[in-house]
Structure 1
Amino acid sequence: MTDVQAAAYAAAVAKLLHAHGPAPRERLLAGCLAFGLSEEQANASVDRGLALSLYVVDPATGHLRAPQLLRREPTAFLGDGIIDARKDPDVARRLAILRVLLSTAPVAMWAVDQAGYIIYYEGKALEGLGLQDGQFVGQSFHEVFGEHACAPYVARAFNGEIVEVSWEYGGIIWQNWCFPLKNAAGEVELVSLVSMDVTEARHAEQELRERLTTIERQQRVISELSTPIIEVWDKVLALPLLGVVDSTRAAMVMTNLLGEVVNKASQFVLLDLTGVEAVDTATAGYMLDLLRAVRLLGAEGIITGIRPSVAQTMVMLGVDLGGIVTHATLRQGLQHCLRGLRQGKV
């Protein structure tokens, strides 16, 4: 009998122990004999399962039992040995914390040995999959999860790498940590995985991103509506400004307006301030920069609709409008443009 065959029979024994509880070695040997194995093969199979930690010997009764039952006993594995938690309060506290974590948090913890068998599998998060603690214990990891995306990450952990990765399984999004457990010689004996159900958090993140996208789209629409660029006549653009013009809005206005001047081959731009009730030094500076940029593109910038209060403020601020054509209304500014077009003036 090969080691692979012995491991397969050992896995079957582990399933029986998990399903029906501890049993004496003699009963398990009888079960193997019923499968047609010789006494030597039966003993080899049971011993193989012990070597692979598919099940353990209960020190109190001498019966074989699933390793999952060890969590109910006051013992813990540390390195190559077993420490009695009754003699080590610190270990007992850690086991208690682990029990609370696995029974209350949306996490699952599992472990795979070198032979590829699942030797530990439990946690509250398994309920979302309709699974029970220890359900896959004794089964081949490659048979249960071999086709799943997690397989290569487990292989990387067996090479000594700590891996953090997300994947979806059973309709649930899992955040996973795969890490190797080494013996005293530094060899990887087990790979342990901690999986956390982050489905709700991921859905909340997606919803938040969608809301932010919607808000940004709405802000762009509002900005475009508050600074519309209108082609009032062939080669004549009008830009009515409304409300407050800050640096962000001014930059957007300049980009959009200069683009339209080039696309439309415009010769005149009417900057209408009818909707502006107040200006400060910064706002005035934005408007002058805009008109200078328009002039660099070969078009003439004209200011219309300056309110008396705005005119007074601009004078007090010392804003120099020298060389810039101004008109009281948008209508008068358009008439100026039409005269310029008829005369071929730019």
Structure 2
Amino acid sequence: MRALVAMMLGGSLAVAGQTAGAAPLTHEILSFDDLRGWETDDHDAAMSVFLETCRDMDPPQWQALCNAAVDMDDAKGFFELFFRPVLIEDGDPMLFTGYFEPELEGSRERTERYQYPIYGVPSELSSGEQFHSREEIETEGVLEGKGLEIAWLDDPVDVFFLQIQGSGRIRLRDGTGLRVGYGGKNGHEYKSIGKELVRRDVYEPHQVSAEVIRNWVKRNPEEGRELLHHNPSYVFFREVSEVPADKGPLGAMNRSITAGRSIAVDPSHTPLGAPVWIEKAGAEPMRRLMIAQDTGSAIKGSQRADIFYGTGDDAGREAGRIRDQGRMVVLMPIQRAFALAPGF
């Protein structure tokens, strides 16, 4: 094993696989020297976030690593000793986007100002089956009178983007607040309204951002409502106000996520809880060890990640600007990394 480890650290090994119904999947096992910026990252910060969720990972090898992490005082050494970087590619170019936790104003009761509901999970919703579409829910009143309203907002665009983000904080009229997190979805495929605006020749791809979409919908209320209905996917929420205010929202692992260290990934390629090295290009390059702690309807593919930027308007503006290329490399336990290479 030591000879094999030495060989792996000296270079990279490309391994090809096949995912049914998809483009060929390739795995390239790298050395840590191949990770640009690795030496200067804050590995202790990444270790702290890793420890938040590693005990929730099922395979025994992850549990053993989690136990070892508790006793290690050298975070960088820990990752280098027990993991190998694996570049997983499916033929699509890397795309980094950003997301955040909105802070909105709302009411527990419907008022003249607050007219747009945030719904809890309907009892008749079945996992894997299609429920009513966004348009049916919002125009036909199929959920009215069922007591599912958690809160009411004053802007349908805020409801839409709250669903895109998957969680948020709501300041109520009485000065108190509540937090909502993802509860379920209606089973319809997510469709990007940004791409739809490009298809309609309203904007060029590089012009589209959350703020641009928001402003266009407000300037064009009737067409804007129809544009929102282009995405039939609809998200239901649950209250998570027990999460401390100084902690981030709950991710897919039901643990708080951390601004600048947590990412949403496609779990069919990247294990939830795994360390992931990212090399993001763009106006604000980022080379950093992240932890895969969340998922998203639009996050599909082995080279696709959504970076969590935090809570509030500033985080939202920062996240909304991100649409960058680069690459992400998953840190796999050594045995798992070698298992990706047939014959080892």
TM range, smaller chain? under 0.3
Bigger Rg over Cα = 1
> Comparing both chains, which one has the higher relative contact order based on Cα–Cα distances under 8 Å and sequence gaps of 6 or more?
2
Bigger helix fraction: 1
Q: Which has the higher strand share?
A: 2
